[in-house]
């Protein structure tokens, strides 16, 4: 790997300790002559471009902070190194107490790069695309809190599969298979796979539960509702859905890259321990 000379910082400043640890990391990086480019408060809208020539993006927060960082990092093909300031840390790499010890390894380029598929989702209404989104975890079409069920017709590669009458439908990546999809009864996939997982939420009278599709498949959800419904992207972006809306979902062209210093077998080795943190 190329030694790290210029990095981006994404900091969840709603966590006081995250700002403190980020400041400590910044001091260590500056001692090594590394240039730091800050995102604005760790929120959407980091305006980095390929011209910035970042070698790495540091994320200080929980998994939600990484989900935000991923949408800026993936198009740049710059790896994310996550410092866990949250509770579960499925996506992060190290805890803050190891940062000073492990940082020299990262700066010398002694890490491996993990590739995780992202989703590209388009929202079509009245025959035209009105929004598009990237997601590292999932895209969810669901009813509002007090609404009735929503009908979601699943179409794969132009062929109707089924119509779910349900609280909603989750379309997830392998990364997202350990999130909402798992909670709804979906399977866990290894994060380096390139599959799409479709899981209904509390479906009514259906024999088809989770469906695992190849990464080159095209998925559509056709929405039928006479009540409130919403699309949620990575649990962060929320868009109201209308009757007749269509979500077109596929694997995004750019994977999200993660800088890892753990052994390549870390996912299987730590999966049970990480899941227990969610209890």
Task: Determine what percent of the chain is predicted with pLDDT higher than 70.
Answer: 96
Task: Dump pLDDT digits (tens) for 2-45.
Answer: 789 999 999 998 888 999 999 999 999 999 999 999 886 544 44
Give the pLDDT of residue 277: 67
What pLDDT shows up at residue 248? 98
Kindly report, residue by residue over 179-224, the tens digit of the pLDDT.
Answer: 999 999 999 999 999 999 999 999 988 888 899 999 999 999 999 9
More confident site: 148 or 87: 148
Contact 199, 167 (CB under 8 A): no
Q: In what order do the strands lie in the sheet with 119-125?
A: 128-135, 119-125, 246-251, 219-224, 150-156, 159-166
> Does the annotation count 63 as an active-site position?
yes
What is the spatial distance between Cα 257 and Cα 276, in angstroms, rounded to a whole number? Answer: 26
**pLDDT score for 168:** 95
The pTM for the full model equals 0.93
Place 258 in a pLDDT band, splitting at 50, 70 and 90.
very high
Looking at residue 42, its pLDDT comes to 43
Q: Which residues pair with 125 in a beta bridge?
A: 128
What residue has token string 């479709």? 198
Q: Is the confidence at residue 71, as pLDDT, over 50?
A: yes
CA distance 76 to 157: 29
Catalytic residue among 63, 151, 167, 234: 63
Q: List the domains of the chain with CATH numbers.
A: 6-116+255-277 (3.40.50.10330), 119-251 (2.60.200.30)
């Amino acid at each position: 790997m190329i030694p790290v000379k210029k990095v981006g910082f994404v900091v969840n400043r709603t966590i006081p300790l995250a700002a403190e640890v980020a400041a400590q990391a910044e001091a260590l990086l500056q001692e090594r002559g590394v240039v730091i480019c800050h995102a604005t408060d760790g929120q959407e809208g980091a305006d980095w471009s390929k011209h910035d020539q970042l070698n790495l993006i540091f994320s200080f927060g929980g998994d939600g902070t990484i989900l935000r960082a991923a949408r800026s990092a993936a198009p740049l093909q710059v790896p994310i190194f996550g410092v866990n300031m949250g509770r579960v840390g499925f996506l992060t790499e190290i805890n803050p107490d190891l940062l000073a010890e492990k940082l020299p390894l990262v700066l010398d380029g002694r890490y491996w790069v993990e590739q995780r598929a992202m989703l590209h989702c388009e929202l079509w209404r009245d025959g035209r695309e009105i929004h598009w989104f990237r997601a590292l975890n999932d895209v969810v079409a669901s009813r509002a809190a007090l609404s009735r069920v929503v009908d979601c017709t699943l179409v794969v590669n132009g062929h109707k599969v089924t119509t779910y009458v349900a609280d909603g439908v989750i379309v997830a990546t392998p990364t997202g298979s350990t999130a909402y999809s798992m909670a709804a009864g979906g399977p866990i996939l290894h994060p380096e796979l390139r599959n799409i997982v479709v899981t209904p939420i509390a479906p009514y009278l259906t024999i088809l539960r989770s469906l695992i599709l190849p990464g080159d498949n095209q998925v559509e959800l056709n929405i039928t509702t006479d009540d409130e419904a919403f699309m949620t992207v990575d649990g962060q972006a929320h868009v109201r859905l209308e009757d007749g809306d269509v979500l077109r979902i596929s694997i995004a062209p750019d994977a999200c890259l993660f800088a890892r210093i753990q052994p390549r077998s870390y996912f299987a080795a730590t999966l049970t321990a990480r899941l227990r943190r969610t209890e």
